[in-house]
Structure 1
Amino acid sequence: MSSQPTAADDALAARTYRKVAWRLIPLLFVCYILAYLDRVNVGFAKLSMKVEPWFTDAVFATGSGIFFIGYFIFEVPGNIILHRVGARLWIARIMIGWGIVSALLAMSTSATSFYTLRFLLGIAEAGFFPGIILYLTYWFPREHRARMVALFMTAITLAGVFGSPLSGWLLEVSNGWGGLKSWQWLFIVEGLPSVLVGVCVPFLLTDRPEKATWLTDAEKQLLHDRLEAEERTKAAQGHQNHRVSDAFKSPQVWVFCFIYFGIIVGLYGASFWLPQIVENTFTKNKWHVGLYSAIPWSCAAIGMVLVSRHSDRTGERQWHVGLSTLIAGAAFAISGLHGLPPVLVMVALAVAITGVMSAVACFWALPTAILSGTAAAAGIAWINSVGNLAGHFSPEMVNWLKTRYDMGMALNGIGVMLALSAFTVLLGRAGGRTRSTRK
């Protein structure tokens, strides 16, 4: 075996990875748009649900966050199952389940039923995001991974870009259709597409490169050789973490959990409360709330891809994650300043959300560099599940600070959590530079 890749090898690699990306990423992208929209559309539903006698800001905060308790409990076993049975069937099961439960949220008649369905939605979706992160490691080595994760995760931003106007429009026009209220139609219309796409997933997704009939033998061999070389590099660097227990014994995994928790506080602080901030700052028209809410997500869609590409090109992860997180924290704090003109509030929120999404996109190149096999399945799921407990903590923290002080103080709280994660990355050993194998 040649120690140096030839020009022909590089051309084949470029062609193969481009082919794999075009085959996998669009489908995963659509799946995640639907997943994220079903997870956070409660932020828009709140604008209509607040007229219900049983619905309050406290009910909204608890219901938003309780999703992540069910998500936390079933995340690790869900990812281990995906690793063993394959992505096609398990992702299909997840999508069909969450789509049904999301649509059933339209049947909420009390705080208890709302909490129950949000908890079940978390159980239904558990394993999807870390499953995709794990799935991408079956196809792409580390030097491609931040860019692929970023392309996949632009689904979050586009869920905001397109989902926000859609949600606002539904709330504005659908009240009374078929005797249902607008927030009920919101859950139904945005939940059922997940079921339809989930049914199609087993026919469109391929579990691993060796099963891909759409790859040539040379392309399959190249993918195999590149991933094997990465495993040998991990072993040479002392990262021989293959068993489930290895993931939980690694101090780095626990550091990653802390870092990711702070980043996700920022993500869900924006996702759940952005419609309310826009309504309070700009307009009461729900359709216009949706349009304004799309602006920060549009900026994030561009920014996160540029940052992740630069991270892949340079092989540097630590500063890309740390500085993105720090900038996001500062921007959240600035957006909460009293007397700030509305246009500057929007600029600060756009910078904040772009920073958060850039950090998330580059972050996952860090833990996947030290974990392999079943430990990767368990470790990725554990980091994601602990980090996503911030989805429970964040709305409760924001609601408490908003009630006790004001929304400006709540945004400052988000900024502090992001700053803690940023300093942990920048001052610790959570990342570093990875030498690219490309010429």
Structure 2
Amino acid sequence: MRLLPLLFACYVLAYLDRINVGFAQLQMKSDLAFSDAVYGLGAGIFFVGYFLFEVPSNLLLQKIGARKTITRIMVMWGLISMGMSLVHAPWSFYLLRFLLGIFEAGFFPGIILYLTYWYPARYRARVIAVFSSAFAVAGVVGGPLSGWIMNDMAGYWGLEGWRWMFIIEGLPTCLLGIVVFFFLDDKPTAATWLSDDEKKFVQGEIDAENASGPSKHGLSSYLIAMRDPKIYVLSLSWFFFVCGIYMMSFWLPTIVKEMGVSNPLHVGFLTAIPFTVATVGTILIGMHSDRRLERRWHCALPAGIAGAALIGLIFVHGNVYLSFVLLSLASLGIVTTVPQFWAILSEYLKGTAAAGGIAFVNSLGLIGGFASPFALGWIKTSTGSLDMGNWLVGSGMVLGGVLILLAVRPRECV
């Protein structure tokens, strides 16, 4: 209970700072005369910086420890997030989003790696589910919070509401990064709050699992991942899931606004509905996965449901209630794939080889974080609608689930 609440809070802030641009664009596009294509490119260019620096960041975590690495990441990305309030032209928007990606690089896979230092595989799906549900919670909390700031803070000291949103939501990240430095322990053996017997028990459990896997370190662990064909199949599956994640993260406020909701605060509350469903469902499905010791179908079925729901949205234009049902199902399916996918991967990549492998898969998959918002922005600018994007992302979610079933044998993820 000491680790997860702190890591959960860190990820809520991380994800909020990553996606609050989805709310900012409700005002920013008109204030700065940005097209949907400019917004989509700026939202996606975050992942270029993230891709370039993720693997080095994860390898550095293995060398210097999670406490220093996560502190560095959080303080720097908090400052850059606050700096987003200075955006005044497309080039500054692109530059700051790129820098945000650089400084946030390695956070999520670093935490996944860190959790393998503390939790045996049999508990990992529910632990990762709780941690990963933070990005759904960020949607639940961040929607109303962002909407309130943009609505009620507009005009203070001559600043637009979206500028205040970046400042107010970036500052807590810096402060929590400092807290991490003083309260996070790198490994069980360094935990002053565990007794000697508890340290030996926890470390013994982890060492016993790692003994069955490769024990390469640093760059060697990264090269092991690059030589494994299955890693590329899993990366492709993660790519499709990431496209779904960032369609919901960056475009959900726009989808709700186009239902006829103009007030940012109302948009914020309505976007919280799908993420609330996703938060509860992800944790329950993660617990069921651990009880059954089954990962493949717990990942593939939600992916298929999400894909069907996204495609179904195309056929219910004008029906607000049915649209929200489908948005909730899509959110539930998309969010659920995250902990299940990472439970599969962290159990497949044993030992310290996980450091390079986890970062490698995540960095390849996160190309979808660039492709999805960029393509959707271009599609919406060209066609005036996201329908084609729903087809593409929905089909990708289904294909990602199929790849999981084909690539992973049951005994590799239990």
TM-score, normalised via structure 2 length: 0.96
In structure 1, how many angstroms separate the alpha carbons of the residues matched to 2:98 and 2:382? 27
Contact map agreement 1:241 1:247 (CA 8 A) in 2: no
Segment of structure 1 superposing worse, 400-409 or 69-78: 400-409
Partner in structure 2 of residue 96 of structure 1:
75
Per the alignment, in what secondary structure is the counterpart of residue 366 of structure 1? helix
In structure 2, how many angstroms separate the alpha carbons of the residues matched to 1:424 and 1:383? 14
Task: Tell me if 1:366 matches 2:352.
Answer: no
Q: How does 1:82-121 map to 2 (within 5 A)?
A: 82-121=61-100
Amino acid across the alignment from 1:248: M
Per the alignment, in what secondary structure is the counterpart of residue 379 of structure 1? helix
Contact map agreement 2:137 2:275 (CA 8 A) in 1: yes
Contact map agreement 1:366 1:431 (CA 8 A) in 2: no
Q: How does 1:47-126 map to 2 (within 5 A)?
A: 47-126=26-105
Partner in structure 2 of residue 257 of structure 1:
235
In structure 2, how many angstroms separate the alpha carbons of the residues matched to 1:419 and 1:282? 30
Contact map agreement 1:255 1:430 (CA 8 A) in 2: no
Partner in structure 1 of residue 315 of structure 2:
337
Over the matched positions of the two proteins, sequence identity in percent amounts to 46
Partner in structure 1 of residue 24 of structure 2:
45
Contact map agreement 2:316 2:323 (CA 8 A) in 1: no
Partner in structure 2 of residue 392 of structure 1:
370
Contact map agreement 1:316 1:434 (CA 8 A) in 2: no
Backbone CA RMSD of aligned residues: 1.5
Segment of structure 1 superposing worse, 407-416 or 86-95: 407-416
Distance 1:256 1:434, change over 3 A: closer
Q: How does 1:355-434 map to 2 (within 5 A)?
A: 355-405=333-383, 406-426=385-405, 428-433=406-411
Contact map agreement 1:329 1:414 (CA 8 A) in 2: yes
Match of 2:150 among 165, 171, 178: 171
Contact map agreement 1:146 1:309 (CA 8 A) in 2: yes
Distance 1:435 1:156, change over 3 A: closer
In structure 2, how many angstroms separate the alpha carbons of the residues matched to 1:38 and 1:207? 25
Deviation at 1:282, TM superposition (A): 4.3
In structure 2, how many angstroms separate the alpha carbons of the residues matched to 1:86 and 1:272? 32
Q: Deviations over 1:139-192 (max 9, x none)?
A: 011111111111111110110111100001111111111111111101101111
Contact map agreement 1:268 1:391 (CA 8 A) in 2: yes
Partner in structure 2 of residue 158 of structure 1:
137
Q: Deviations over 1:27-73 (max 9, x none)?
A: 00110011000000000000010222442211100000000000000
Segment of structure 1 superposing worse, 169-178 or 368-377: 368-377
Deviation at 1:413, TM superposition (A): 1.6
Contact map agreement 2:234 2:403 (CA 8 A) in 1: no
Contact map agreement 1:165 1:291 (CA 8 A) in 2: yes
Contact map agreement 1:80 1:374 (CA 8 A) in 2: no
Contact map agreement 2:36 2:381 (CA 8 A) in 1: no
In structure 2, how many angstroms separate the alpha carbons of the residues matched to 1:338 and 1:28? 39
TM-score, normalised via structure 1 length: 0.90
Partner in structure 2 of residue 36 of structure 1:
15
Amino acid across the alignment from 1:330: A
Match of 2:200 among 221, 233, 246: 221
Partner in structure 2 of residue 205 of structure 1:
184
Q: Tell me, which stretches of 5 or more residues in structure 1 are unaligned?
A: 1-21
Task: Tell me if 1:326 matches 2:334.
Answer: no
Q: How does 1:177-326 map to 2 (within 5 A)?
A: 177-232=156-211, 234-235=212-213, 243-244=220-221, 245-326=223-304
In structure 1, how many angstroms separate the alpha carbons of the residues matched to 2:81 and 2:229? 36
Deviation at 1:339, TM superposition (A): 3.5
Q: Deviations over 1:340-377 (max 9, x none)?
A: 51111111010111111111111111121232444211
Q: Tell me, which stretches of 5 or more residues in structure 2 are unaligned?
A: none
Deviation at 1:401, TM superposition (A): 2.8
Deviation at 1:433, TM superposition (A): 4.2
Per the alignment, in what secondary structure is the counterpart of residue 30 of structure 2? coil
Per the alignment, in what secondary structure is the counterpart of residue 343 of structure 2? coil
In structure 2, how many angstroms separate the alpha carbons of the residues matched to 1:298 and 1:431? 32
